[in-house]
Amino acid sequence: MQLKNSLDKHLKIRKSIEDSIKLKSAILNDNIIQDAISEIIEKIVHCFQNKRKVFFCGNGGSAADSQHLASEFSGKFYLDRKPLNAEALHVNSSYLTAIANDYSFTEVFARALEAKGSKADILVCLTTSGKSENILSVLKKAKEMEIITVCFLGNETKYTQQLTDIQISVPSIETPRIQEAHMLIGHIICEQVENQLFG
């Protein structure tokens, strides 16, 4: 019985790893995704070269991933170099709770972007569902402000399609697998931007 339980656990672990590998293999063979990644790299390089800012946002695990990617730019990835102006829009908890309380949670990213953003900055939204109201709200605000919009998504793209300049749709409906793919893509972008600016 103990051996069977151990084998069952291993099978579940292996399935998660195999599912992640399959998704990354699908991305590896998807020229549309790779073209979008290349276009994002080009736009972010141009943004930083022109002293503009890159903003990130997301909810839950995607908020953590947003903060992670912003820190790769504002800190460093591989190279010891000058910091780049990147920020996750949710990191001030007092601001976040005040806006959620006084207005609504739908507005927490949009108001932060309105305060900090300018024309020709870049907004990168991470969303596994593709329909979070605060993400749609900030994308609308970015469009009003002529800020370049990028979305990392799962399969669902219809809600963000008209609001986004560049979309990367990861072919999955599984939140953990989508987030893993988003971080892989994010790390590729951070590495290539750093190389082009400082390598």
Residue 148: CATH number of its domain: 3.40.50.10490
Mind listing the pLDDT tens digit for each residue in 94-125? 999 999 999 999 999 999 999 999 999 999 99
What pLDDT was estimated at residue 2?
A: 67
Which is nearest to 162 in space by CA: 123, 127, 129, 136? Answer: 136
For residue 185 the two structure tokens come to 């893509």
90 domain-assigned = yes
19 domain-assigned = no
User: Please, what is the Cα angle at 190 between 107 and 113, to 5 degrees?
Assistant: 20
Give the separation between CA 41 and CA 66, rounded to whole angstroms. Answer: 16
What pLDDT was estimated at residue 1?
A: 65
9 domain-assigned = no
pLDDT band per the 50, 70, 90 thresholds, residue 91:
very high
- Number of structural domains (the chain) is 1
Domain that holds residue 193: 32-198
Q: Report the predicted TM-score, pTM, of the whole model to 2 decimal places.
A: 0.94
Question: Side chain identity at 198, as an amino acid letter?
Answer: F
What pLDDT was estimated at residue 13?
A: 92
